[in-house]
Amino acid sequence: MFVETIALPRSEWERWHERLRYATDPPEALVAMIVWDSGDGQVTGVNLWDTPKAIADFYLERVAPLVEAEGEPTSKPQRHGEPLAFYLRR
């Protein structure tokens, strides 16, 4: 598992979320995504991926073409590495 977080203005997050198709066509390597309203028009999210390579593949396949066409988002994901502990209730 590999963890990344991101914080963006809500409107910007909604635009990227829709274009990257997280909900309509989630990447196979995305284990979990949790996003919440962190106040003042901002959202914060945590993505849990299978591997760091999975993030790189996702970037090349979906993110890079959008960045080329529309420019960089105001905030980039912060990569935190492998979790020390992980629990997911089934």
Tokens 């590495």 — which residue? 81
- Full residue range of the structural domain in which residue 63 is found: 2-81
Tell me the pLDDT tens digit for each residue of 75-84. Answer: 999 999 999 8
Tell me the pLDDT tens digit for each residue of 12-24. Answer: 999 999 999 999 9
Q: Is residue 46 part of a domain?
A: yes
Q: How far is CA 35 from CA 31, 32, 65, 70, in A?
A: 14, 10, 23, 23
d(CA 82, CA 49): 9
Tell me the pLDDT tens digit for each residue of 26-80. Answer: 999 999 999 999 999 999 999 999 999 999 999 999 999 999 999 999 999 999 9
Query: What pTM did the predictor assign?
Result: 0.86
CATH number at residue 52: 3.30.70.100
Q: Is residue 12 part of a domain?
A: yes
Q: Which residues on neighbouring strands pair with residue 8, listed in sequence order?
A: 43
d(CA 74, CA 86): 29
